[in-house]
């Protein structure tokens, strides 16, 4: 028995959009295997849109890709172009590698039963890619009509510091912004609810898609006999399997992108230090954050342009560490900072959405706030004191090593050192800072961040060096 056969839970996952209206879509995800099930996935839009079976099916397919590694086949039972099919196949390939390495091999929690964990001999690229085939029988040609791209920026908004800072910057430089929210049916909506209501009441006219995608995830997980059912019900700071989250948001947003002629689709992807991105057993991977990388943005932009959607996906904050994003948000946009909820275990207390304060995301944010000299009570955290760092030492923090070291130097030893963590990073292959943003906006971004950072840093012989 091959490794792929050993971890296989599903024979096939068939994606079939069935009902399209001016308010959204509904379709079937039909899963065959040892524990078959059918799920009716819904995407409901906050205003009237025009969609078709192609766009609706692609959003559904993004949900299903999260589980492609464990299925022999994915069947796209809706119209797709050859370019769509190429994109889906590549996303499945990369997702499979990410799941194998970052959920099964480099796991943070024991979600999987022991027989699923590969032996040393099984740690190879073939097993990482898996044996998932993609079937699509309704191949169509792409239309020639140019869609979207006349101006404005849609910002994927979640209540996190990155999207809030992106919103503040774009408004400050006079850009037309459209906040976009993806409202999952469960409690994961709580972190975004505060900022959504603020933007709605402030005349921003935010866009929102409601979906029960999170219920599909739960149903799929409960029908996988290779998972420890007790472990997957625990509250943790990561999903048992799902790593392909943002593509669902992005693909479901396309009817809004087209309707509002949006040119820019902005995600809050902060800096990921390439020095920390080591191979796993000789295999290149993305540490479980592929859908928040420039590689994904490049692939997604090619996909958009192949569909004649004249929009581009990018991030303002990609060359800046999270600790600096927090500092700038606190100092420059205190009203937006008050909306921040960076916790997946938020709860409602007397009408306010309050973070748990204990998960690794909360611990990271609390360190960022202390480092910036901010007031954690503004977003319902207690002051840290010595207890904060005691909790940090016990946790499996999900920060780049250099940033964690930098924060500890100040918060533990009161030693403030100038470091590349405080700077703008010129990434490998870039000719200038912010080259991954639209040319007409780069100078505004450089000027804005120049006020708050200690200069531009570049990788020289394997080390970050200050170049200006």
Average pLDDT over residues 196-219: 96
Q: What is the pLDDT of residue 350?
A: 87
Residue 55 belongs to a domain: yes
Separation between Cα atoms, residue 392 and residue 366, nearest integer Å: 10
Pick from 232, 251, 270: which residue ends a domain?
251
Residue 222 belongs to a domain: yes
pLDDT bin (cut points 50, 70, 90) of residue 88 is: very high
Q: What is the pLDDT of residue 148?
A: 83
State how many domains the chain has.
2
pTM of the model: 0.95
98 lies in the same domain as 198: no
Residue 19 has pLDDT above 90, yes or no: yes
Q: What is the pLDDT of residue 247?
A: 98
Residue 34 belongs to a domain: yes
Residue 8 belongs to a domain: yes
91 lies in the same domain as 172: no
233 lies in the same domain as 194: no
Residue pLDDT, tens place only, 328-339: 999 999 999 999
186 lies in the same domain as 334: yes
Residue 177 belongs to a domain: yes
Average pLDDT over residues 129-140: 97
pLDDT bin (cut points 50, 70, 90) of residue 341 is: very high
Residue pLDDT, tens place only, 209-251: 999 999 999 999 999 999 999 999 888 888 999 999 999 999 9
Tokens of 167: 């919103």
Pick from 251, 275, 306: which residue ends a domain?
251
CB-based contacts of 197, cutoff 8 Å, min separation 6: none
Domain that holds residue 343: 158-205+315-468
414 lies in the same domain as 336: yes
Residue 226 belongs to a domain: yes
Average pLDDT over residues 416-433: 93
137 lies in the same domain as 171: no
Q: What percent of the chain has pLDDT over 90?
A: 87
**Which residue has better confidence, 443 or 185?**
443
Residue pLDDT, tens place only, 45-59: 999 999 999 999 999
Separation between Cα atoms, residue 236 and residue 222, nearest integer Å: 17
Quick one: CA dihedral 251, 255, 261, 267, positive or negative?
A: negative
218 lies in the same domain as 346: no
Residue 385 has pLDDT above 70, yes or no: no
Residue 310 belongs to a domain: no
64 lies in the same domain as 192: no
Query: For all residues of the chain together, what is the average pLDDT?
Result: 95
344 lies in the same domain as 242: no
3-class SS of residue 337: helix
Stretch among 99-103, 147-151, 279-283, 300-304 having the lowest mean pLDDT:
147-151
230 lies in the same domain as 194: no
Average pLDDT over residues 57-80: 98
Residue 261 belongs to a domain: no
Q: What is the pLDDT of residue 384?
A: 63
332 lies in the same domain as 192: yes
Pick from 251, 271, 305: which residue ends a domain?
251
Average pLDDT over residues 300-304: 98
pLDDT bin (cut points 50, 70, 90) of residue 139 is: very high
57 lies in the same domain as 189: no
Neighbour-count burial for 180-194, b at 16+ CB within 10 Å, e otherwise: bbbbbeeebbbbbbb
């Amino acid at each position: 028995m091959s490794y792929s056969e050993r971890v296989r839970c599903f024979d096939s996952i068939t994606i079939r959009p069935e009902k399209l209206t001016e308010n959204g879509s509904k379709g079937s995800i039909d899963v065959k295997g040892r524990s078959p099930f059918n799920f009716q996935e819904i995407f409901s839009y906050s205003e009237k849109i025009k969609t078709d079976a192609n766009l609706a099916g692609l959003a559904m397919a993004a949900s299903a890709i999260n589980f492609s590694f464990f299925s022999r086949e994915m069947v796209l039972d809706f119209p797709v172009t050859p370019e769509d099919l190429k994109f889906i196949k590549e996303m499945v390939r990369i997702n499979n590698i990410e799941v194998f390495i970052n959920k099964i091999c480099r796991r943070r929690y024991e979600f999987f039963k022991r027989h699923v964990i590969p032996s040393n001999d099984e740690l190879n690229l073939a097993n990482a890619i898996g044996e998932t085939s993609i079937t699509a029988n309704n191949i169509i040609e792409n239309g020639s009509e140019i869609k979207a791209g006349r101006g404005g920026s849609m910002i994927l908004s979640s209540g996190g510091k990155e999207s809030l800072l992106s919103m503040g910057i774009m408004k400050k430089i006079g850009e037309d912004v459209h906040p976009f929210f993806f409202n999952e049916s469960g409690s994961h909506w709580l972190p975004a609810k505060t900022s959504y209501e603020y933007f709605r009441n402030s005349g921003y006219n935010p866009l929102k898609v409601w979906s029960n995608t999170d219920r599909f995830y739960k149903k799929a997980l409960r029908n996988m006999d290779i998972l420890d059912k007790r472990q997957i019900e625990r509250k943790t700071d990561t999903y048992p399997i799902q790593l392909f989250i943002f593509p669902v948001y992005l693909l479901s947003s396309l009817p809004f992108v087209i309707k509002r002629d949006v040119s820019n689709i902005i995600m809050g992807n902060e800096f990921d230090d390439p020095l920390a991105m080591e191979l796993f057993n000789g295999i290149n991977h993305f540490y479980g954050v592929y859908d928040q990388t420039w590689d994904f943005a490049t692939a997604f932009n090619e996909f958009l342009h192949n569909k004649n959607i004249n929009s581009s996906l990018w991030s303002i904050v990609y060359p800046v560490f999270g600790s600096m994003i927090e500092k700038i948000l606190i100092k420059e946009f205190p009203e937006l900072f008050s909306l921040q909820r960076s916790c997946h275990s938020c709860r409602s207390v007397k009408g306010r959405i309050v973070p748990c304060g204990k998960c690794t995301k909360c611990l990271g944010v609390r360190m960022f706030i202390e480092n910036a000299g901010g007031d954690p009570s503004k977003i319902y955290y207690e002051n840290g004191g010595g207890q904060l760092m005691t909790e940090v030492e016990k946790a499996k923090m999900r920060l780049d090593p250099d940033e964690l070291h930098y924060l500890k130097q100040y918060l533990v030893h009161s030693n403030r050192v100038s470091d590349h963590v405080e700077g703008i990073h010129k990434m490998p292959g870039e000719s200038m800072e912010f080259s991954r943003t639209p040319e007409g906006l780069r100078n505004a971004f450089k000027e804005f961040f120049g006020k708050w950072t200690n200069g531009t840093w570049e990788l020289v012989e394997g080390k970050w060096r200050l170049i200006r």
